[in-house]
Copies of this chain bind each other. A is one copy, B any other.
Amino acid sequence: MSADLLAGLIADLPEGMVVTDPAVTEGYRQDRAFDPSAGKPLAVVRPRRTEEVQTVLRWASAHSVPVVTRGAGSGLSGGATAVDNGIVLSTEKMRDITVDPVTRTAVCQPGLFNAEVKKAVAEHGLWYPPDPSSYEICSIGGNIATNAGGLCCVKYGVTTDYVLGMQVVLADGTAVRLGGPRLKDVAGLSLTKLFVGSEGTLGVITEVTLRLLPAQNALSVVVASFASVEQAIDAVLGVTARLRPAMLEFMDSVAINAVEDTLRMDLDRDAAAMLVAGSDERGRAGSQDAKVIAEVFAENGAKEVFSTDDPDEGEAFVAARRFCIPAVEAKGSLLLEDVGVPLPALGHLVTGIARIAEERELMISVIAHAGDGNTHPLLVFDPNDAAMAERAQLAYGEIMDLAIDLGGTITGEHGVGRLKLPWLEDYLGPDVMDLNRRIKQALDPGGILNPGSGI
Contact = CB atoms under 8 A, between A and B. Distances in A.
A284 interface: yes
B101 A188 contact: no
Contact of A282 (B100, B282, B440, B442): B282
Nearest to A196: B190
A439 B436 contact: no
Contact of A455 (B149, B189, B411): B189
Interface in A340-389: 340-344, 369, 372-374
Contacts of A285: 282-283, 285
A23 to B, nearest CB: 34
Contacts of A99: none
A5 interface: no
A22 interface: no
A308 interface: no
A412 interface: yes
A184 B435 contact: no
Contacts of A175: 431
29 contacts: A101-B241, A153-B184, A158-B184, A175-B431, A177-B432, A181-B342, A182-B340, A182-B374, A182-B408, A183-B372, A186-B416, A187-B410, A187-B411, A189-B194, A189-B455, A190-B196, A191-B436, A194-B439, A213-B244, A282-B282, A283-B283, A283-B285, A283-B288, A284-B284, A285-B285, A435-B443, A439-B439, A439-B443, A441-B442
A198 B187 contact: no
A25 interface: no
A101 B291 CA distance: 21
How many A residues touch the partner, as a band? 35 or more
Interface string A155-195: 00110110000000010001111101111111111110110
Contacts of A340: 182, 184-185
A202 B183 CA distance: 23
Interface in A300-350: 340-344
The 3 tightest CB contacts between A and B, nearest first, are A193-B193, A184-B412, A442-B442
A311 to B, nearest CB: 18
B213 A424 contact: no
Contact of A436 (B105, B147, B189): B189
Interface in A403-452: 407-416, 420, 424, 427-429, 431-433, 435-436, 438-443
A442 to B, nearest CB: 4
Contacts of A440: 189
Contacts of A194: 189-191, 193-194, 439
A247 to B, nearest CB: 13
A194 to B, nearest CB: 5
Interface in A270-302: 281-285, 288
Interface in A98-129: 100-105
Contacts of A47: none
B431 A176 contact: yes
A157 B147 contact: no
Interface centre among A101, A185, A198 (most CB of B within 10 A): A185
Given A176-B435, A342-B180, A186 B413 contact: yes
A214 interface: yes
A147 B193 CA distance: 12
A19 B21 CA distance: 71
A453 to B, nearest CB: 13
Interface centre among A191, A281, A443 (most CB of B within 10 A): A191
Nearest to A281: B282
B442 A170 contact: no
B439 A103 contact: no
Nearest to A425: B188
A67 to B, nearest CB: 18
B182 A147 contact: no
A90 interface: no
